[in-house]
Structure 1
Amino acid sequence: MPAAPSPDAPSAPTRLRTAGLATLALLAFAGNSLLCRAALAHTDIDPASFTAIRILSGAMMLVVLLAVRPGPLPAAGSWRSAAALFVYALAFSYAYTALSAGTGALLLFGAVQATMLVAGLLGGTRWRALQALGLGLALAGLVGLLWPGLSAPPLTPALLMLAAGAAWGIYTLRGRGLPDALAATTGNFMRAAPLAVLAAGLAWPWLKPDFEGALLALASGALTSGLGYAIWYAALRGLSPQSAGSAQLSVPVITALAGVLLLGEAIDLRLALGSLAVLGGIALTLDWRRA
C-alpha cells in the first residue's frame, strides 16, 4: 500500500507549476547563449556595450512588470546578488567573443554546478563515493576539453566563462527561498545597471555601437534575462538544490543543438566526449534519492 503523502509535500498542481516555470527558465538560459553568441560573432557590437544594453533593458522590463502588478512596490534585492549578476553578465559576454554557443554553455553550467557542490560541502553536506567519482569525471571532462590542442577553446575566454558560471552559481544560491521573485530580480537588475554602465564607460575607446547587435542585446536583456531570471527565481522556491542543479544540465545540450541548427556551429568529437564526461559526472554528484 503506498505511503500517505507528507502534509508538507507539494501538491500536484504546485509541482506542475514549478516544472513549467523551470522549463521556461531553462529555455531562456539557452536563448541567452544563442543571442549573445549571435551578436558577438555576427555583428560589430562589443562585449561591454552588449552587457550594458542587456542589463539596462532587463531592468526596464522588470520595472514595468513590477509596476503593473497590483499592490505596493516592495524594495527587494541586494548588492551582493547584483554584483554576482554583473560579474556573470560581463564575463559571459567577453567569453562569447571566441567560444561557440555549445562550448560556452557547457563551461558555464559545469562551473555553476561545481559552485553549488562546493557550497554544499561548505554547508556540511556529506558525499558518497559515487558522488566523489562523479566530480572526478566531470573535472576530467573539463580538463580534456581545455587541454591545448587543435580543437581546444581559447584559454582566456574559457576561464572567463568558468568565472561567469561561478558567479551565476552564487546568484542562484542566493535566490533560493526568496518570497518575492519578481521584486528580488528587479532590485538586483536595478543595482547591476550602474555597474554595467560604468564598465562600458571604462571600455569607451573600444565601444562599437551596432544596431543589429543592440537589438539582440535588447532581446537578451528584456526577455531571456530579465523575464527569464524572474521565472527562475520563482521556480527555485519549489526546487531542491539537487533538482536545480540537475535541471540546468539540460541547458548545454539545448544550446549546442540550437547552435548547430540556428548558427551553423559544429560539434566535434572533443566537445562531444567532453560534454558526456562533464554532464555524466555532474549527474553522478546529484543525490537522486532526495532530488
Structure 2
Amino acid sequence: MLLKICVAMLAFAANSVLCRLALADQQIDPMSFSLIRVCSGAAVLWVLYRFSTHKAKIEWNIKNGFFPALYIVAFSLAYLHIDAGVGALLLFGTVQLSMVAYGLYHGEKINLRCGLGLAIALLGMLILLLPGASAPHLGYATMMVLSGMGWAMYSIAGKNMHNPLASSLANFILAIPFVLLVYLAFFTQAFIKPQGVILAVLSGGLASSGAYVLWYAIVKQIDRVTASSVQLSVPCLAILGGALFIGEALSFRIIISAVIVLVGIALVISASSNRTNLNKSDLIGSERP
C-alpha cells in the first residue's frame, strides 16, 4: 500500500514538472499539450478498461467531463509563466480550500482549529501572491486557482463514482470535446515539437489517467483524513522536481509560503480527524444499552 501511495503522489507531482518542462522549453503550446494529454489519457484508460476482468457499466455525465477539462486547460495555461512548485502549491491549496468551502456551504460545521487552519492556509497563499520580484504573475496564478477549482469539483463529483476505471474513462472521453474547442480557439498559436508530444503523452497516459485510477483504488482502502494528509507531499515533491529537472530557483518566499500553507491545511485535516472520531464516539455511545 505504501508503495502505491508513493507512486500516486510522485505521479501527481510529475504532472506539474512535465507540463512546466514542456512549456518552459517551448516544446509545445499549452492547448496542444492539453489536447494530447487528455487524448492519451483516454486512450490508456480505454486499454485498461478493455483488458479489465470486470467491465463495469460506463456512466456518462457531461458535467463530470467538463470539470477535468477545466482543470487540464487552466493548468496548462497557468504553467506558461509559473514555476512547477509554485503552481502545485496554488493548485493543491485551492483544491483543499474549495472542498472545505463546499462542505461549509452544504451545512458542515467548522470548529476553531479548522477555521484557524483555513486562515493560515489563505495567509500563505496571499504571501506567495504579494507583489515582488519572486511573485508569480497574477493572471497566470488566477488560472491555476481556476484549475484547482476544477479539480476540486471533479473530486467532489468523484464521491458518487461507483467504478474508478469506468468512470475515469467516461470523464476523459467527455472532456475531449471541451478541450478541443479551446484548442481550436487558439489554433493559430499552436506549435508542436517531438519532445513536447512525448511529455504530453507521459502526463496524460501515466501521470494523469493511470495515477487517477490508482489513487481512486487507494482511497477506498484508507480513510479521508489519511488521503488528505498524504497529498501534503505533492507540492513539496513538485518544488523539488522543478529545482532538479527545470532549474527553478527556491526563493525564501516560496519556502515560507509552502510551509505556511501546508501547516494550515494540516490543521484543517487534524480538525476533520478529531470531528470524525468524535462522531464515531457519539455513535458508539448511542448504541450502548
Secondary structure in 1 matching 2:32: helix
CA distance in 1, matches of 2:110, 2:126: 22
* Match of residue 20, structure 2, among 23, 34, 37: 37
Cα distance per residue 1:134-172 (max 9 Å; x no partner): 111111111111011111110011000011111111111
Q: Which moved more, 1:277-286 or 1:123-132?
A: 123-132
CA distance in 2, matches of 1:219, 1:124: 40
* Match of residue 193, structure 2, among 204, 210, 222: 210
What is the TM-score of this pair, normalised by structure 2?
A: 0.90
CA distance in 2, matches of 1:171, 1:27: 20
In structure 2, do the counterparts of structure 1 residues 263 and 89 end up closer, same or farther at CA, with 3 Å as the change threshold?
same
- State the AA in 2 paired with 1:103: V
* Match of residue 113, structure 1, among 96, 108, 111: 96
Tell me which residue corresponds to 2:49: 66
Show structure 2 runs of 5+ residues with no match.
Answer: 278-289
Tell me which residue corresponds to 1:227: 210
Superposition RMSD on alpha carbons, in Å?
Answer: 1.6
What is the TM-score of this pair, normalised by structure 1?
A: 0.89
* Match of residue 88, structure 1, among 67, 71, 76: 71
CA distance in 2, matches of 1:20, 1:172: 23
Cα displacement (A) at 1:112: 0.5
- State the AA in 2 paired with 1:150: A
For the 8 Å contact 1:51–1:217, the answer to whether it is kept is yes
CA distance in 2, matches of 1:235, 1:116: 19
For the 8 Å contact 1:98–1:157, the answer to whether it is kept is yes
1:125 and 2:104 matched: no
- State the AA in 2 paired with 1:201: L
CA distance in 2, matches of 1:90, 1:43: 17
For the 8 Å contact 2:117–2:267, the answer to whether it is kept is yes
Cα displacement (A) at 1:177: 5.1
Show structure 1 runs of 5+ residues with no match.
Answer: 1-15
Q: Which moved more, 1:45-54 or 1:19-28?
A: 19-28
CA distance in 1, matches of 2:60, 2:214: 15
Cα displacement (A) at 1:243: 3.1
CA distance in 2, matches of 1:22, 1:115: 23
1:266 and 2:266 matched: no
For the 8 Å contact 2:49–2:55, the answer to whether it is kept is no
Matches of residues 1-291 of structure 1 in structure 2 within 5 Å? 16=1, 19-72=2-55, 74-176=57-159, 178-286=161-269, 287-289=272-274, 290=276
In structure 2, do the counterparts of structure 1 residues 41 and 263 end up closer, same or farther at CA, with 3 Å as the change threshold?
same
Q: Which moved more, 1:185-194 or 1:239-248?
A: 239-248
CA distance in 2, matches of 1:249, 1:133: 18
The percentage of counterpart residues that share the same residue type is 38
CA distance in 1, matches of 2:29, 2:71: 16
For the 8 Å contact 1:50–1:217, the answer to whether it is kept is yes
In structure 2, do the counterparts of structure 1 residues 71 and 250 end up closer, same or farther at CA, with 3 Å as the change threshold?
closer
- State the AA in 1 paired with 2:273: W
Q: How many residues align?
A: 274
Secondary structure in 1 matching 2:107: coil
Cα displacement (A) at 1:239: 4.1
CA distance in 1, matches of 2:188, 2:198: 22
